[in-house]
């Protein structure tokens, strides 16, 4: 009986607790966007990208961090059902934390549920408009939905915030999001 009570407390805390506000990372993210734009090499650009991810992957509190980490571990082991469950619980607990939506969108993208991914990516961007991961994920999702013009616009927006994204190759001549040329 005692174990049931402990388990109940551990697994229902997020349902009854209130998630604190996410840390305001706006100034630091703006600084990193400037650093990404100024980076002279791919390696320097990648280092800045890693720093951006380090910001986004800090949840508002310990229970939220545990849900985020649990979902990411499940994703790494291809347990998409458990990952979706963890990220959904994170969103329920911390509805203002953009990364919960972004991570759930990634699972939906991997499962090729692009419409659901797009809804979560829009939610992530509504909470963190310069979330380059969500921006590039949204571009890839739109591309997979066949919405090429929108995908191109979204990817360009992401590249304004971080020109070193690997997805930039999708804009190269002959690539899926390459600007349309004029036939002669």
Domain ranges, ordered by start, for the chain: 25-165
DSSP string, 55-98: HHT--SSHHHHHHHHHHHHHHHTT-HHHHHHHHHHHHHH-TT-H
Given this model, what pLDDT does residue 180 score? Answer: 83
**Cβ-Cβ contacts under 8 Å for 32 (sequence gap 6 or more):** 48, 51, 52, 55
Q: What is the mean pLDDT of the chain?
A: 92
pLDDT, position 10: 47
Phi-psi region of 174 (alpha: psi -120 to 50; beta: other; left: phi over 0): left
Residues 23, 58 contacting (CB under 8 angstroms):
yes
- Asked if residue 4 has pLDDT above 80, the reply is no
Spatial distance between the Cα atoms of 51 and 44, rounded to a whole number of angstroms:
11
Both structure tokens of 26: 């706006």
pLDDT for 14 beyond 50: no
Nearest C-alpha neighbor of 106 from the set 150, 131, 55, 30: 131
Distance separating alpha carbons of residues 176 and 4, to the nearest angstrom: 53
pLDDT in tens, 102-145: 999 999 999 999 999 999 999 999 999 999 999 999 999 999 99
Confidence of residue 168 (pLDDT cuts 50, 70, 90): very high
* CATH pick for 25-165 out of 3.40.50.170, 3.90.1150.10, 3.40.50.150, 1.25.40.10: 1.25.40.10
Find out whether 99 and 65 touch, Cβ atoms under 8 Å: no
DSSP string, 112-155: T-HHHHHHHHHHHHHH-TT-HHHHHHHHHHHHHTT-HHHHHHHH
pTM of the model: 0.87
Count of residues in the chain: 184
CB 67 within 8 A of CB 89: yes
Averaged pLDDT, 61-83: 99
Least confident of 7-11, 23-27, 33-37: 7-11
As a whole number, mean pLDDT of residues 90-107 equals 98
| pLDDT score for 5 | 40
Confidence grade of residue 17 (pLDDT, cut at 50, 70, 90): confident
Tell me the mean pLDDT in the region 12-34. Answer: 85
Question: Mean pLDDT throughout 60-70?
Answer: 98
> Which of 27-31, 108-112, 132-136, 179-183 bottoms out in mean pLDDT, i.e. has the lowest?
179-183
Q: Is 183's pLDDT higher than 70? A: no
């Amino acid at each position: 009986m005692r174990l049931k009570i402990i388990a109940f407390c551990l697994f229902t805390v997020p349902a009854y607790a209130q998630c604190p506000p996410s840390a305001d990372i706006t100034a630091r993210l703006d600084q990193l966007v400037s650093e990404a734009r100024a980076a002279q090499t791919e390696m320097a650009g990648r280092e800045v990208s890693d720093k951006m991810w380090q910001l986004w992957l800090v949840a508002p509190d310990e229970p939220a961090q545990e849900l985020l980490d649990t979902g990411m571990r499940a994703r790494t082991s291809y347990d998409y059902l458990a990952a979706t469950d963890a990220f959904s619980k994170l969103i329920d607990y911390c509805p203002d934390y953009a990364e919960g939506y972004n991570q759930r969108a990634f699972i939906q993208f991997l499962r090729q549920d692009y419409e659901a991914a797009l809804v979560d990516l829009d939610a992530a961007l509504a909470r963190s408009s310069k979330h380059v991961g969500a921006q590039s994920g949204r571009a890839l999702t739109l591309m997979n939905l066949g919405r090429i013009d929108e995908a191109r616009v979204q990817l360009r927006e992401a590249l304004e915030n971080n020109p070193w994204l690997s997805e930039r190759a999708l804009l190269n001549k002959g690539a899926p999001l390459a600007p349309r040329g004029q036939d002669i």
